[in-house]
Structure 1
């Protein structure tokens, strides 16, 4: 009798994880509708001729000045207002890549959507108060939307089994494409029949409702969700814990290789087989070039699942050779300032990690299936460039600026 795999036992389309995927899809669609609707309402907000009716038009007409206030904004001011939301988004991309890994995704994503929706509700009032306030409102909206854009990627680290990560990410992210389509389609009808402020009220209220649903329905960990079925919980947790074991293997192997490299480096130096600078360059070359080779090997179209896992493991693990290379090199050139230099390099490394996570998310957002090719090639290019720079400029002797100063009293 054949045994069914877990993916066959657990329904997908009727499961909780796909329901949450649909919810996130709607959240993205609403959020981007809030962003794009101003591009159409701006026409009514500054075009006084659109509000001029016949002499006998009554005050109750849907396009009267009470429902559609008009502002005397120059084209330059309009451009600033429309683009103000883009000022806030880039500011959040890097820090939110870090914060989303530290704070609960339920809170970060929910508050981001709620704040964006509240800003949408406040835009008519802000416009009445002046262009400065509506610009500020749009900047804050950009900050909140940038938060959601980055933080939501972390949702699928626990909720998506490895074989479903692409489809769940694609479906949830496709709301970003649907949002502008819906917004541009209905904004004109709403503005003409009810007045342009109602556009912001509808999209803002819809976003607030979805954010409340998010707080009620979403849990960071599937194991903690009160409504998830036992079979789906076991399916997700067993898939993600198995993936966790494979993810831990490169770190374990890297620890082994790092320690081995340290012992081997001291052996080569003690036996005077290689000079100190040659040792540092040798292990740095291994630590940067081997991960590059294994990463590029992943692009082979005929790679088997076992081959892919092996290459991924070795690509991460062989970076441990750098422990006996560039990682300890600051101790050679400036022992007095070793702590300071390590602090600076750690800060640079953290910054690079934040940028890489954010950049990876942006690239994957374009095409979750094939964008990995670009990511792997970009990583290989960075590694090779860094290696060339290191081989050209690295030193192993104590530098003059780092030597102890001998003060002689005359």
Structure 2
């Protein structure tokens, strides 16, 4: 090399060291390439969880469908069967149906804690089996008396309460950051489709066989599926016997920074002081208040004010459920697309999808109070509200794993507890002041969104890091 060339090279400035990526986007950097998703174990888990959550919600809503035949002596089921009929008042029916949530709210945090220590597969599988087995005893409990049926409903809530926190514990070990939204939302869509198809199937079973068979059939299928759950699901990629080495390395390397599951102790003080966690909890409470108002008040409003019973029209009743399920899947795909192409950071994506899923349903709800006696528009707004509300699945719902993957199940238990509270406080049977009810729900929802946008975060919190947690 000539001296002039050496001097020129010596005069060149030293290259600056590469900047380390921001924590929020570190998980999005190129790494081991994913295997084909069509034959991957992680997508297989999404399908299995979709079917599982389908069964869970089918088991949850069967009493809501059957109680019509259980208390109506003129129901068509009596012409084809000897199913008993009970003289329960509307108030008694309400107590029976709501008693499920008294058990359900109690095991949310316990389920997340058990899943983090014992494993999500075991906890979820046991919850599914117990829920299915207990469902088989609903006709017997009803025959014994209202007190027995209420007690059984509480037990069903206790058993089912562990399922969703355990699911998040599993996803924290299986879902790469760039695929979290689509994988988890495909699984969650099973809830909506399960509700929709269970209503259709329950009505057919009730008329052809009698209402007790609703519980026998769904409970029996659930027990069988729980056996498949234990055979098909593995706690993490390292334990899966059929996963490819490429896929295992891809998942493990993409989740390397988050650490393993938590032990028997939890950083409760740090959690209590965490604004990002409070942001999710407050937003869950507020959006669920609006959601339960839509589910409970809108049908009553349409019946009392618009004189239109949406439950009598199968197609219109199905639209909100179908729209919500499809919205879950599409929003998950879109969220991951934005993340994988580095269009927005993790925090920005979560806040964007939360804003869409909280602002628009609130606006649609307020609009209903100004449409007059137009039930077509009311049904359209109800369908749009529940469809768009599904985008929160790619927003604040998944944010638990973003900020604390090691404690995702327990955190979901905390925020789900907040989210269930509106079931006991949101309007249930109103005859006046509809506009005030709708404005109140929209206002609460807006407050939750603003709080979440202000304090939400997309990075793993210091208290959730393994080296800090083990000190």
TM-score after normalising by structure 1? 0.58
Structure 1: how far apart are the matches of 2:255 and 2:241? 19
Residue from 86, 106, 127 that aligns with 1:112 = 127
Deviation at 1:49, TM superposition (A): 2.5
- Contact 1:109/1:148 (8 A) holds in 2: yes
Name the structure 2 match of 1:50. 75
Deviation at 1:358, TM superposition (A): 3.2
Structure 2: how far apart are the matches of 1:357 and 1:113? 18
- Contact 2:165/2:412 (8 A) holds in 1: no
Once the two structures are superposed, the pairs formed by residues 245-394 of structure 1 within 5 Å of their partners are: 357-360=412-415, 375=452, 377-378=454-455
Deviation at 1:158, TM superposition (A): 0.8
SS at match of 1:153: helix
Deviation at 1:101, TM superposition (A): 1.5
Pick closer, same or farther for the CA change 1:33–1:48 going to 2, 3 Å: same
Does residue 1:221 correspond to 2:298, yes or no?
no
Residue from 18, 42, 62 that aligns with 1:37 = 62
Does residue 1:71 correspond to 2:86, yes or no?
yes
Residue from 168, 182, 189 that aligns with 1:174 = 189
Structure 1: how far apart are the matches of 2:146 and 2:347? 57
**CA distances 1:85-111 after superposition (whole Å, capped 9, x unpaired):** 111111112222322211211110000
Does residue 1:241 correspond to 2:256, yes or no?
yes
Structure 2: how far apart are the matches of 1:74 and 1:309? 50
Residue from 2, 18, 26 that aligns with 2:43 = 18
- Contact 1:162/1:243 (8 A) holds in 2: no
The number of residue pairs the alignment matches comes to 271
Name the structure 1 match of 2:397. none
Name the structure 1 match of 2:379. none
**CA distances 1:203-252 after superposition (whole Å, capped 9, x unpaired):** 1112112211111111112111112222222221222225549x9xxxxx
Deviation at 1:376, TM superposition (A): 5.7
Deviation at 1:13, TM superposition (A): 2.4
Structure 1: how far apart are the matches of 2:192 and 2:347? 36
Structure 2: how far apart are the matches of 1:288 and 1:150? 19
Pick closer, same or farther for the CA change 1:288–1:242 going to 2, 3 Å: closer
- Contact 2:116/2:410 (8 A) holds in 1: no
Does residue 1:188 correspond to 2:206, yes or no?
no
Structure 1: how far apart are the matches of 2:224 and 2:194? 16
Pick closer, same or farther for the CA change 1:103–1:14 going to 2, 3 Å: same
- Contact 2:128/2:160 (8 A) holds in 1: yes
Once the two structures are superposed, the pairs formed by residues 120-159 of structure 1 within 5 Å of their partners are: 120-159=135-174
Deviation at 1:6, TM superposition (A): 3.6
Pick closer, same or farther for the CA change 1:91–1:47 going to 2, 3 Å: same
Pick closer, same or farther for the CA change 1:373–1:102 going to 2, 3 Å: farther
Segments of structure 2 that go 5 or more residues without pairing to the other structure are 1-29, 262-272, 279-337, 349-406, 421-447, 458-471
Pick closer, same or farther for the CA change 1:101–1:204 going to 2, 3 Å: same
Structure 2: how far apart are the matches of 1:168 and 1:127? 39
Structure 1: how far apart are the matches of 2:206 and 2:347? 58
Structure 2: how far apart are the matches of 1:205 and 1:353? 31
- Contact 1:364/1:372 (8 A) holds in 2: no
Structure 2: how far apart are the matches of 1:26 and 1:203? 13
Deviation at 1:309, TM superposition (A): 9.1
Structure 1: how far apart are the matches of 2:148 and 2:56? 20
**Using CA pairs below 8 Å that are at least 6 residues apart, which structure has the higher relative contact order?**
2
SS at match of 1:101: helix
Residue from 45, 52, 57 that aligns with 1:27 = 52
- Contact 1:95/1:354 (8 A) holds in 2: no
CA RMSD of aligned residues (A): 3.9
- Contact 2:128/2:222 (8 A) holds in 1: yes
Structure 2: how far apart are the matches of 1:243 and 1:138? 38
- Contact 1:94/1:355 (8 A) holds in 2: yes
Segments of structure 1 that go 5 or more residues without pairing to the other structure are 54-60, 248-286, 293-300, 312-351, 366-370, 381-410
Does residue 1:7 correspond to 2:33, yes or no?
yes
- Contact 1:7/1:235 (8 A) holds in 2: yes
**CA distances 1:14-48 after superposition (whole Å, capped 9, x unpaired):** 21111111111111111111111211211111112
Structure 1: how far apart are the matches of 2:409 and 2:31? 37
Structure 1 segments of 4 or more deviating over 3 A?
4-8, 242-245, 304-311, 352-365, 371-376
SS at match of 1:115: helix
TM-score after normalising by structure 2? 0.51
- Contact 2:132/2:219 (8 A) holds in 1: yes
